[in-house]
Structure 1
Amino acid sequence: MSDRYTVISADCHAGADLLDYKPYLEKRYHDDFDLWAATYVNPYEDLLADAADRNWNSERRLAELEADGIVAEVIFPNTIPPFFPSGSLMAPPPTAEDFERRWAGLRAHNRWLADFCAATPGRRAGVFQILLGDVEQAVKEIRRAAAAGLKGGLMLPGTPPGSGLPELYSRTYDPIWAACAELGLPVNHHAGSASPPLGEEPAARAVFMVETTWFSHRALWHLVFGGAFRRHPDLRLVLTEQGSGWIPGVLGMLDYYHGRLVAAATKADTAEAKFGAGLADGMGAPPSRVWRDNCFVGASFMRPHEVPLRDRIGVDKIMWGSDYPHDEGTHPYTREALRFAYPGVPRDELAAMLGGNAARVYGFDLALLDPIAAKVGPTAAELAEPLTKPPADATSPVFARGASVRVW
C-alpha cells in the first residue's frame, strides 16, 4: 500500500470563457448569442483577473491540483453560460421569455463540460445542469448528459420562495428522480442555488451569508418528507459546500417531527392529526435512516470543529472538497488545511473522507488514480503532523478564527 493518500476533491468549479461557449450552442442561437455577448458586462472580478483561466485551462488546472496533492475532481459550474445574467449557480429562475434561451445556454455548458472532462480521462466528474420548469426536457438532458460521459450527476437547481416553481417535495419532479436513480447518477445540491433575492441593501450580503446554507439544506427535508427516496430507493442526494456540523442535529429534529406526526395521524381526535395524515405512507423510513441509505455530504474544506462529529454524520458519507479555484478554497494550501482539520484521525477514516467515498459515489477508478497519487498525494506522515499555525496569506475559512475550537 502506498504511503500517500489518494485525494479527490468533491467540490471544484469550472466553466468556459464567455465566447468559447458559442461553438457548443445550437446554430439557431448564434446570432442571439453575438448580440448578447457584445453588450454583456461580467460582474465577477475573479472571472476578469489573470487567474480566471483556471476555470478552462485544462493543463494549468491539472498542474495546480496535482501540486496541491489532488488527483481528481468533481466539477460544478462557475463561469457564466450563454444568456444568463450571472453564474448559473446563483441566477434567479428564468422568466417565460428567457426560458428557452437559458436552456440552450445550459446545454452548451454541458457539452463544453463533457469535452473538458474527456481531456483528462478518469480524473474529472462533471456535474451537468438543468432547469426545473420543463421536467420532460430535463429528463432528456439527463439522459443525453449521461451518455456524453458526465458522471458527476445532476446539479439540482433551487426552488427559492417566490420562484413560482413547485416545491422540491412535489411529485412533479418524480421523472427526474427516476432517471437519476435508473442511471446511477447522484443528485447534487450546492449551496447558493436556493436563496431568494435579498435586494441591494448594505446588509443583504451579510444576511445571504447567514441564510444561504439553510436554504440549501431544505432540499434534504423536502425530498425526505416528500417520499422521493421511498419511491426511488436507488436515488442518491449529495449536499455540497453547506458545512457538515449541522447534520446530526437536523437529523434528530427531522426524526422528532417524523415520529410525532406519524403518531398524531393515528389519533383522529387531536388537533395535530391533520399534520401527520398520509405522512407515514408517503415517506416511509425515519429521516436518519434515509440519510444512512441515500445521502452524502460534500464537506468542502471541512473545519476542525466538524471533524469530531464524523461518526454521527457517517464517515462513509463525508467527501472532502477543495473548492478550487475559489478564493475561499484551500488552494494552494490543501496540505496545510488537511493537517489543520484532521489531526489524530485514523488513516482508514481519513482515506475514505479524502477520496474513497467520492470514488464510490462518482465512479472514479482508484486503480487509475492510486498510481498518480503515489507520486503527488500527501503522505501519511505529513498529514499526521498537526499544523500549529495557518499560512499568513491563506484565505480559506478552514483557517479562520471561529472555524475551530482552538485558541491562537
Structure 2
Amino acid sequence: MSNALDGIQKLTFTGAVDADGHILEDAGLWDRYIEAKYKDRAVRVRVDDKGLEYLEVAGRPSKVFSGGRLGALSAMGTTRDDKWDAPPTYGGFAPFGAMDAMERLKRIEAEGLAAAFLYPTMSLLWETETEDAELAQACTRAYNRYIVDFCSESGGKLIPIAHLSLGDPAAAAIELERAVKAGCKGGWVAQFVMTRKPHAHPDHDVLFAKAQELDVPIGIHPSLEPVWAAPGRYDRKFMRGNYYFLNIVAADAIRHAFTSFFQYATFDKFPKMRLVLLEAGAGWIDYWLGRLDAVYASAMGRTVSLKEKPSFYFKRNCWISADPDERSLPAMVELCGADKFFWASDFPHPDHVGNYIEEVEELAHKLPATARAKVMGENVMKVYKCELPR
C-alpha cells in the first residue's frame, strides 16, 4: 500500500517557510460560520441538472465557476499533456495536505518546511461576483473564523491570514482587529476593489491606520477578477477563453495597486505600515522602482506629495514574494536587498506543475550564503512577527 507522502521531496536545509500556500477550504464553511442574517446568501457549492458543480454567490449561480470548473482549482501537478476524462468535483484533484490541517502538517514536515502561511481558494472567487459590501464583510468574517480554527492545532506551523474586503474599509478595519485578536497574523485584500477606488485611496486609510496600530502587515493577493477589471484595451468578445493571456497579465493589477500607494503618499501618513505583494512574481520589482524614482524626479513628480523617492518607502515599508522558479530572483536580491523577499509555493493551484520543493532547493543554492536564510524563511517570519516553531 503506497504512502500519501511517497515522492515528496525534502529540502536539504532547515528553516524554510512557505509565504503563500493555499488550502481548499471546506465548501460548507459559510453555512457553519456565517451569521444567521446572511445564511440565505452564503457562498455555497451546488449541483446543476447535469450533475455538475457550480459556485453560488449571494443566492445566484456563478457566471464563471460552473460546469464542474471548481474541480480544476486543485490541479497542481497536472500539465498541458494530461487528459481529464470528466470534470471532477471540488477537491477532486486535491493533493495530500490541501484540505485537512493534520495532513498539511505532515506534508510540510515531509518537505522539510518549518511553517506555511495559508491563503484560501474559494475565497479568491466569490468577491468577484458581488458588489454587496455588507455581504462581503460577512463572508470574510466567516472565512476568518474558519481559518483560525483550521490552524489552531498546528503549534504555529500553519499561519492564518485574514481575508479583508475594501468594499467597506471601516468594517474591514474592525474585522482586522477581531481576526488578529483571534489569531490571524495579518490581513490581505484582493487586487481589485468593488468600489473601483484605487487601493491607496484615502477612503481606505482607516484600514491602513488599524494595521499600523495593530502592527500587522496588509497583503495584496490576486484573485479571480470581475469582468470590469480585466484589461480593457481589447474588446471583451476577443478575450473570452483566453485563460493563458489573462493568467499571465493578472500580475499587472498588483503593480497598479502597489503604485497607488505612492500616488497617494500612503507611507508618509502611515510610516510603520507594512505592505506585502503576493503571487505576482518579483523579477519586475527593480525595474518598477527605477521607473517610480525616475518619474518622481521629473516634472511629473510634482503631482505627488511624497517626502522621499519611492524606493525609500519600498526599503522601509514593503516586501514581495517570488515564485521559486524565478531565474531573476538572485539578481533582484542583490539589487534591492536580501531583506525584501520571500518565496511562495501557491500549492495546490493549477498554474504550476508542482515541483516547487525542487525549485526552492535550486533557488537556495543560487542565493548568496548571506541571503539564503533570510529569503528562505527568516524574512517572512520577521515581517509577520512570528517565531519559528520548535
Picking from 377, 382, 385, the partner of 1:355 is: 377
2:22 aligned partner: 13
2:178 partner letter: R
How many Å separate the matches in 2 of 1:261 and 1:34?
49
Picking from 119, 130, 139, the partner of 1:94 is: 130
1:222 and 2:256 aligned: no
Structure 1 vs Structure 2: percent identity of aligned residues?
24
Question: What are the equivalent positions in structure 2 for 1:1-400 lying under 5 Å apart?
Answer: 4-33=13-42, 41-42=54-55, 43-45=69-71, 46=74, 47-51=90-94, 54-80=97-123, 87-88=125-126, 91-92=127-128, 94-95=130-131, 98-151=132-185, 153-159=186-192, 163-192=194-223, 196-197=229-230, 199=236, 201-202=239-240, 204-261=242-299, 276-277=302-303, 279=304, 282-329=305-352, 331=354, 333-366=355-388, 368-369=389-390
How many Å separate the matches in 1 of 2:47 and 2:247?
32
List per-residue Cα deviations over 1:1-57 (Å, max 9, x = no partner).
xx8320100011125221233221112333444998576614322334152674330
> Larger % of helix: which?
1
Contact 1:169 1:228 in 2 (8 A): yes
Q: TM-score, normalised by structure 2?
A: 0.79
2:374 partner letter: A
Range with bigger deviation, 50-59 or 192-201? 192-201
* Structure 1 unaligned spans of 5+: 81-85, 264-275, 370-408
Distance 1:193 1:176, change over 3 A: farther
Q: How far apart are 1:172 and its partner, in Å?
A: 0.7
How many Å separate the matches in 1 of 2:148 and 2:262?
31
How many Å separate the matches in 1 of 2:125 and 2:146?
15
Q: How far apart are 1:190 and its partner, in Å?
A: 1.6
Q: How far apart are 1:240 and its partner, in Å?
A: 0.9
Q: What is the DSSP-based 3-state SS (H/G/I as helix, E as strand, rest coil) of the residue aligned with 2:298?
A: helix
Q: How far apart are 1:180 and its partner, in Å?
A: 0.4
Q: How far apart are 1:150 and its partner, in Å?
A: 0.2
Contact 2:42 2:139 in 1 (8 A): no
Contact 1:237 1:294 in 2 (8 A): yes
Contact 2:322 2:329 in 1 (8 A): no
1:293 partner letter: R
2:287 partner letter: G
Q: How far apart are 1:344 and its partner, in Å?
A: 4.1
Contact 2:172 2:207 in 1 (8 A): yes
How many Å separate the matches in 2 of 1:188 and 1:334?
22
Q: What is the DSSP-based 3-state SS (H/G/I as helix, E as strand, rest coil) of the residue aligned with 1:10?
A: strand
Q: How far apart are 1:99 and its partner, in Å?
A: 3.3
2:170 partner letter: E
Aligned length: 338
Q: What is the DSSP-based 3-state SS (H/G/I as helix, E as strand, rest coil) of the residue aligned with 1:283?
A: coil
Q: How far apart are 1:361 and its partner, in Å?
A: 0.9
Q: How far apart are 1:221 and its partner, in Å?
A: 1.1
2:15 partner letter: T
How many Å separate the matches in 2 of 1:334 and 1:35?
31
Q: How far apart are 1:113 and its partner, in Å?
A: 0.7
Distance 1:41 1:176, change over 3 A: same
Contact 2:22 2:348 in 1 (8 A): yes
Contact 1:139 1:176 in 2 (8 A): yes
Q: How far apart are 1:121 and its partner, in Å?
A: 2.5
How many Å separate the matches in 1 of 2:95 and 2:136?
23
**Which protein has the larger Cα radius of gyration, Structure 1 or Structure 2?**
1
Distance 1:146 1:177, change over 3 A: same
